[in-house]
Amino acid sequence: MNQAEVSKLVSKLRIKVPAEPRKLRSPKGPEGRIDKLRKTVTGLIKYERIELNHNRGDEARQYAERLISEAIRYGDCHKPTMDVANYWLLEKELIHKLFKVLVPRFENCNTAYTRMLNAPRPLPSRVDDKVVLELRGNPYPSLVNRQSNNRLLIQNVLLDAAKYDYRQSKYAEMAEKIGQREEAQALEKKSKEPTKESSNESKTPEI
């Protein structure tokens, strides 16, 4: 039973954290592992959506979450946080993105800052599980297909248009029919007005 370290305060991550870190195989040992993760985290912050293997994606996700939560907690005037950001982001303009774009975006966020989705893989293959790792609130179209009721989907738009056309043609047909009947009735009225009344009288008792 170890004592928890108390010198530093950290915010709780909103994702599930495994008890043990994953080993990412690298000839450089633990340093190589961190280097790999640095590249991935930089890519994630830069492109906001990347596709990669599951192991590396899951591990990088934890580091990205920690980086963003540190940035939110301490802000850009805190020197240790700045050092950490400087270490993790290999392209230095991304530091500005982290503090000026991502921090305001996630400041009032109640959920995790990233999202990880399983990606499809070509079937007869022995490749690893692929995932798509993305920052929430990215500008790309959503990957989650929960839009069966969305009217703007092209299929729905086409169907709507087809329905509309069909309905319009039906209305036209009906209008034509009604017009013809009215014309016929008008003609009948003109020709035999007295007979019509007698015929009506004769019909009612039948009903």
Partner 1 sequence: MALAIRRTSDILCAARWLIRRDCRVLSTLPEKAEISQEVVVRRPAGRRPIANEAVLESRHIYPEFLPDPNPDWRNSLREKLERADMLKRRSQIDIPEFYVGSILAVTISDPHAQTKTTRFVGICIERKGCGLRAEFTLRNVVDHQGVEVRYDLYDPTIQKIQVLRLEKRLDEKLLYLRDALPEYSTFPFDMDPEILPEGTPVPINPVQVKLKPRPWLEKWERQELKGVSNIEEHLKGKDRIRRELRKTPWEKYDLMKQYRKTIPIEDQSEIWAEVHNQLQQLQLSRKKMARKRTFTAPKPQLG
Site for partner 1 in 118-177 (CB under 8 A): none
Euclidean distance between CA atoms 111 and 50, whole angstroms: 20
Q: How far is the CB of 18 from partner 1 (least distance, A)?
A: 8
Interface residue with partner 1, options 27, 79, 92, 108 (CB under 8 A): 108
Q: Compose the 16-55 pattern: x for residues touching partner 1 by CB under 8 A, - for all others.
A: -x-x-x--------xx--x---------------------
What order do you get walking across the sheet with 114-118 strand by strand?
Answer: 49-53, 130-135, 114-118
| Angle of the 193-206 helix axis to the 154-191 helix axis, nearest 10 | 110
Member of 24, 67, 89, 98 binding partner 1 (CB under 8 A): 67
Q: How far apart are CA 132 and CA 46, in angstroms?
A: 15
For the chain, helix, strand, coil in percent to 5 are 55, 10, 35
- DSSP one-letter code for 102: I
What minimum distance in Å lies between the beta carbon of 21 and partner 1? 6
Backbone angles phi, psi at 114, to 5 degrees: -120, 165
Q: Which of 40, 58, 62, 134 binds partner 1 (CB under 8 A)?
A: 62
Complex with partner 1: residue 20 or 201, whichever CB lies closer: 20
Residues 85-104: x where in contact with partner 1 by CB under 8 A, - otherwise, as a string: --xx----------------
Measured CA distances, 112 to 104, 122, 205 (Å): 15, 29, 78
Taking alpha carbons only, the member of 89, 49, 51 closest to residue 70 is 89
Task: Determine if 72 is a binding residue for partner 1 (CB under 8 A).
Answer: yes
- Which amino acid makes up residue 19? A
Least Å distance, CB 138 to partner 1, is 18
The stretch near partner 1 (CB under 8 A) out of 5-13, 121-129, 182-190, 196-204 is 5-13
Binding site for partner 1 (CB under 8 A): 1-6, 8-13, 17, 19, 21, 30-31, 34, 62-63, 66-67, 70, 72-73, 83-84, 87-88, 106-110
